[in-house]
A and B are shown apart, each in its own frame.
Chain A
Amino acid sequence: MKHTMRRAMGGALTSLTGFAALLIVAILAIILFDAVRGGAGHVTWTFLSEPPSDGMMGGGIFPALYGTAALTLLMTVAVMPVGVLTAVYLHEYAPPGSLLARAVRIAVVNLAGVPSIVFGLFGLGFFIHFVGGSMDRLLGYQELNWGQPGILWASLTLAVLTLPVVIVSTEEALRAVPMEHRTASLALGATKSQTLGRVVLPGALPGILTGAVLAVSRGAGEVAPILFTGAAYFLPDLPDKLNSQFMHLGYHTYVLATQSPDVEATRPLLYATVLVLLALTFALNLVAVLIRARTRRRASAAH
């Protein structure tokens, strides 16, 4: 009797937790299904290659695609060297039990938890008003030139936001490089920096790339930090200078979803934009998962 009770309880718990897991997967499926159903018919070459028209009730999303790409490219260029070198310090150079390393780790953990809207405030206060404003004063501009929202400031803001992603995944990649590779290099008379540049970093490259891809996918989808650091509601021209404003897929989604004068007319455009944004981030995440799986397999084969 008692035995069957215990069995029943076990079955109940297993199916209950299984149901929770299923629920998560089902929700993901619903979101995907909805986006594909609503958007698939409207994602055409014209949609991808033309600017919005008719007060955003028609046309395509090319400026938003271009702006998102330019923004994330600048962000990646800014975040990768800093993130990788910080991870190199943590894993290769920091003395064991180093106070600085511990402080950096705590900072990284907390940086990852700062709300994205606070990054936006930081970008506005620091990059635009402080750095940009000072540049304008130093360069003697009468009107605002750098002290206003622009693609450079938005991408630097995103670079700070994605810094923890890059540091954490690079450190993981460095950990996967076998210690023997380092000792072998040092034993052959190479210096520490030569070992780093020719053995450790090349060995960790797939993992570092994963970090870059994850950072790009995270940065490309964030809207809150760019709301007031550079994203524009509508721009007929593509951004051609570092201080120009830009259109952005995520911000475009927000604008279409909340400020459209005619919801029914914008709905197909909105769904198509969402689908493109989703496809982009999923493709990036998939690339990251694939690189990571390959690296893991290689690492376990080496041991």
Chain B
Amino acid sequence: MDRQAAMQGQGLVETATPVAPRLSSVARRRQIREKVIAGFITAMAFTGIAALVLILVFVAKEALALFLEEEARKEASLSKMFLPQVVRAGRPAAFVWQPVSSVPKVSMIPLFIGTLKTTLVSMVVAVPVGVAGALFAAEFAPRKLREVLKPTIELLAGIPSVVLGFFALMVLASFMQETFGLDSRLNALVAGLGLSLAIVPVIFTVAEDALTAVPRSYREASLALGATPWETAWKVVLPAAAPGILAACVLGFGRAIGETMIVLMASGNAAIVSASLTDSVRSMSATIAAEMGEVVVGSPHYSLLFFIGVELFLFTFILNMLANAWTRKVLKRLSGAGA
């Protein structure tokens, strides 16, 4: 009923007469066929929603054993995952991830720290480079240069992450070690730099969209008042697009948290709790990738890996919703002001 009203609104079907006209059987059949097709297409549209729900349900389902099964609850209770544990008698309590030793140690904290370190390094590099590059493309670059710049960065976005991981592992790691003489060749710094290669295009693209969405009239008004182009870019265009640029950074952050292959290949995969960026680290995503292959299906360790998956899903879900809200804010603010 709703749809029909809307289609009338679009002028796509003629207005229904109060008394149903007598339709020929051909027309009647045609009408039924149209309804079936519309119903089928509408049903297909549920797939995207279904996929998202099924992902959460089936990843959470396998993690649920941690809370429901006696054995798993003993081996991997929440306190063992998040509070310091006495690993060996007489030693101070510590956070240790060692799920396959004779006494499994399942602290999530080393994985959180590892993920945070690589993500932080990648953000510190990718945000300035991505945003500045976008500002250049949107404000200062001549049109010709801009038309080359955008596809080039899209090309960078198209590089499979396993290739970036390979590059970080073979080239970047050797370069860093030779230059700085690091103890461990593979570490948070190398992984984070590799990661930044994957998220610069994300930040660039979204930030550039936000900047180009700023109406020309803003720039013209600013220039007419005597501001220089860079003053216009810095004090008018950038603030107007600020929520969108924030969204770009948040999206990049989410991508960095979940990215797997680069970190798996370039981080060294040692779950060390420390503040140093030149220690090897183990991230959440790389832990799933590295350990899922050898785990016994249904064991507490198996459920733990799915639990990490739930955490990753929820983190990125929240970040996406925030980014989405901020992107919309830019469009709304600009279209509201432009009208």
Contact = CB atoms under 8 A, between A and B. Distances in A.
Contacts, number: 286
A221 B160 contact: yes
Given A18-B140, A193-B33, A221 B163 contact: yes
Interface residues of A, number: 93
A167 B292 CA distance: 31
Contacts of A218: 158
A252 to B, nearest CB: 9
B321 A110 contact: yes
A129 interface: yes
A183 B166 CA distance: 53
Contact of A25 (B45, B152, B165, B228): B152
Judged by DSSP, the binding face of A is: helix
A6 interface: yes
Interface string A140-157: 000000000000000000
A130 B62 CA distance: 11
A230 B251 CA distance: 29
Contacts of B312: 115, 117-118
A118 B137 CA distance: 34
Nearest to A179: B10
Nearest to A220: B160
A103 B137 contact: no
Contacts of A117: 258, 260, 285, 288-289, 309, 312
B319 interface: yes
A18 B320 contact: no
B152 A111 contact: no
Nearest to A222: B160
Contacts of B251: 113
B170 A257 contact: yes
Top 4 nearest A-B pairs by Cβ distance?
A115-B258, A221-B160, A95-B6, A20-B132
Interface in B278-332: 285, 288-289, 292-293, 297, 305-306, 309, 312-313, 316-317, 319-321, 323-324
A215 interface: no
A34 interface: yes
Interface in A107-133: 107-122, 124-126, 129-130
Given A24-B133, A81-B44, A118-B59, 4 more contacts: A10-B231, A117-B312, A228-B293, A282-B155
Interface in B94-132: 128-130, 132
A191 interface: yes
Contacts of B38: 93, 192-193
Nearest to A23: B129
